[in-house]
């Protein structure tokens, strides 16, 4: 299989941003976090942008970022936790991206998401358990379409990076190197 990049998807708090950054460092690739990119483009936090512009505009911005970054070479791309995974977005991701889904047991997601009250605009912090249970049920339908699924409940970031690196070295994937004209030099923090 020939790919250009690795995309990390999964529910909020599964560790996409945390792991993605470290995976990119390990591979010597660029790192893109769609949330951070939107925050940079809009000059405000996701929570503020979402509140001011509304969900529709936020989702359009996410799709716009998806179209920009899905063609990158040698990039680890971490998506937002509410990123609309449907047939259309899946096709765009799958064309150039090796899709790694991060999943975690709901209790761990509750623990991680509950650490930053207010950061994630659509989370119902007053009923976190029920919210995460619903999210977990929705994501279960997405995993079968992904190239690889890693459970991050009980592993450190370093261990998860090791698991992904081992998998991509053994999974008969060739990652096409970046062409100079497409390199944009941006690294998301
Ligand atoms: N394997 C792990 N071990 C310990 N802590 C972790 C691990 N993965 C993530 N975390 C912590 O959990 C929190 C949520 O992680 P992170 O922000 O990476 O999730 P995310 O999947 O990017 O969420 P979102 O979809 O909202 O962007 C962070 O505080 C992060 O440091
Ligand atoms: O809809 C939401 O509440 C969110 C959307 C994504 O960008 C997430 O990454 C963010 O943390 C929360
Ligand atoms: Mg994130």
CA distances from 113 to 15, 104, 125, 147, 188 (A): 10, 12, 9, 25, 21
Q: Which residue, judged by its Cα, is nearest atom 15 of ligand 1?
A: 15
**pLDDT tens over the chain, length 189 residues:** 999 999 999 999 999 999 999 999 999 999 999 999 999 999 999 999 999 999 999 999 999 999 999 999 999 999 999 877 888 899 999 999 999 999 999 999 999 999 999 999 999 999 999 999 999 999 999 999 999 999 999 999 999 999 999 999 987 899 998 765 555 556 676
Q: Tell me what pLDDT residue 159 has.
A: 98
Res 179: pLDDT: 64
Cα–ligand 1 centroid distance for 15 (angstroms): 3
* pLDDT of res. 83: 79
For tokens 């799709």, the residue is: 63
CATH number of 2-182: 3.40.50.300
Q: Which residues surround ligand 3, an ion (CB under 5 A)?
A: 16-17
User: Quick one: pLDDT at residue 76?
Assistant: 98
Residue 61 assigned ligand-binding role: no
Q: Check whether 120 is labelled as a binding-site residue.
A: yes
Report how far ligand 3's centroid is from the alpha carbon of 37 (Å): 11
Calculate how far, in angstroms, residue 95's C-alpha sits from the geometric centre of ligand 3: 22
Count the alpha carbons within 13 Å of 164 in the hemisphere toward its beta carbon. 31
Return the pLDDT at 189: 66
Q: What is the CA radius of gyration of the chain?
A: 16
Gap from CA of 13 to ligand 1 centroid (Å):
5
pLDDT at 180: 59
Nearest atom of ligand 1 to the alpha carbon of 20 = 18
Per residue, what are the HEC states of the chain? CEECEEEEECCCCCCHHHHHHHHHHHHCCEEEEHHHHHHHHHCCCHHHHHHHHCHHHHHHHHHHHHHHHCCCCCEEEECCCCCCCCHHHHHHHHHHEEEEEEECCHHHHHHHHCCCCCCCCCCCHHHHHHHHHHHHHHHCCCHHHCCEEEECCCCCHHHHHHHHHHHHHHCCCEECCCCHHHCCCCCCC
Answer yes or no: is the ipTM higher than 0.90. yes
Answer yes or no: are the C-beta atoms of 22 and 145 closer than 8 Å.
Answer: no
Cβ of 8 less than 6 Å from ligand 2 = no
Residue nearest to atom 6 of ligand 2 (CA): 80
Using a cut of 0.80, tell me whether the model's pTM lies above it.
Answer: yes
> Per-residue b/e over 14-39, b at no fewer than 16 CB within 10 Å?
bbbbbbbbbbbeebebbbbbbbbbbb
Q: What is the pLDDT of residue 66?
A: 94
């Amino acid at each position: 299989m020939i790919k250009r990049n690795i995309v990390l998807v999964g529910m909020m708090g599964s560790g996409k941003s945390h792991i993605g950054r470290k995976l990119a460092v390990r591979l010597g690739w660029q790192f893109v976090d769609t949330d951070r990119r939107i925050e940079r483009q809009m000059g405000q936090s996701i929570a503020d942008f979402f509140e001011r512009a509304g969900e529709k505009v936020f989702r359009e911005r996410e799709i716009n970022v998806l179209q920009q970054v899905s063609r990158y070479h040698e990039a680890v791309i971490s998506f937002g936790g509410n990123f609309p995974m449907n047939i259309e977005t899946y096709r765009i991701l799958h064309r150039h991206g090796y899709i790694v889904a991060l999943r975690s047991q709901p209790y761990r997601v509750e623990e991680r998401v509950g650490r930053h009250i207010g950061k994630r605009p659509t989370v119902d912090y007053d009923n976190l358990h029920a919210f995460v249970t619903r999210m977990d049920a929705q994501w279960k339908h997405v995993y079968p379409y992904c190239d690889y699924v890693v459970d991050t409940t009980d592993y450190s970031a370093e261990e998860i990076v090791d698991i992904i690196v081992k998998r991509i070295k053994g999974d008969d994937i060739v990652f096409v190197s970046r062409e100079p004209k497409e390199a944009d030099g941006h690294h998301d923090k």
